[in-house]
Structure formats: structure tokens, C-alpha cells
Amino acid sequence: MVIRPIRPEEHAPLGELTVRVYRQLLATELETYASVVRDVEARLAAGCEVLVAVAAEDVAGGVTYVPGPGPFAQLIDEDEAEVRMLVVDPRRQGQGIGAALTRACIERAEGAGKRALTLGTMPVMTAAQRLYRRLGFTRRPERDGNIPSGAPLWCYSLDLEATTSSRVGTRSPT
């Protein structure tokens, strides 16, 4: 499996995969949101980076890395980046694809000097929440929001200053 920036010929397959995965999880909440998750070009045009996991020449998953505030940011402050629309083909779940895509976003945020990497997830997305906790994200209920239909959006955040300093064996002063 390879994680890399999306290519133009993969825009439609990733858009359809995202709609399919979200439809299984969100059902009626997806009706007005399907056009947004399908539109890879809009994410790229807004300055986001869209990454794909490619296995056996197929798009096995994808994620949108939001480098800072803008039209695709939901829960972040100025010095944070955000993970959006992380999906893995249901036939390939459990193979580490979601973790690899999330780690690629962590690396981008660290490389950009961001203080934190933040994301939103819904209560029904329990497998994603387990992944995020395993990667060091913590729940931030004070920053929760709602999607346009009114359904809850839970905030998780990874403190990159703490994770970076612990990797190099030092701690930042507090």
C-alpha cells in the first residue's frame, strides 16, 4: 500500500467511496452532505491536500488534510491543522489504512509547525474513535459542534508539541 497525493483520475473514485462509506454510517444525515464529500476538486481548490491509499492499483482509502482555517475547516484554531473525510473501503478495513492516512496527516501538520491536529467525528463512528485514541488523540468536548443537519460532531485533538518533544526525548517547558 502507498499513501500519496491524489491524482486527477482518482477524484471520482475517491468521491464515490466517500459517499458510500458515509452513507453506511450516516444514512439520512448524508442527503445534503453527499455533494460535499463527493467533490474532491472543491477541497483541492480550497487549499486542502487530499491523500489516497492505493493498494493493488485501487483507491483503498482517502483523507483530506486541511492546513488551517478556511472553507473546509470545522473545529480548528489558527495554529492547527485538521483531518477531514477519512474513509477506508469497507473491504479493506482492519489493514492499517486508516492509521496510515492519519499518520500522513500528522507528519504534514508537524512539518508545518502546527500546534495540534484536530478532527471531528460523530458518535456512531466508534471504530474511528478507537483509531484516534490509539494514535494519541484526546477527546475535546468543549470544542464539539454539529453538522448542518444538527447531529453532533465530536472534537478530538492531537497535541503535536507534546508528541514531537516526546519523540526527540525532551519535553517543552510548560
Res 30: pLDDT: 62
Q: Mean pLDDT, 10 residues at a time, over the chain (174 residues)?
A: 96 94 73 81 96 93 97 92 95 94 98 97 91 97 85 94 55 36
Q: Are 128 and 121 in contact (CB under 8 A)?
A: yes
- pTM given for the model: 0.89
pLDDT score recorded for residue 56: 85
Q: Which residues in 34-69 are b (16+ Cβ under 10 Å) and which e?
A: bebbbebeebbeeebbbbbbbeeeebbbbbbbbbbe
Pairing, β 58-66 against β 49-55: antiparallel
Residues present in the chain in total: 174
Give me the pLDDT at residue 41, please: 96
For residue 79, the tally of other CB atoms under 10 A from its CB is 14
Task: Give the model's pLDDT for residue 151.
Answer: 79
159: enclosing H helix or E strand:
strand 152-159
Domains annotated on the chain, with CATH = 2-167 (3.40.630.30)
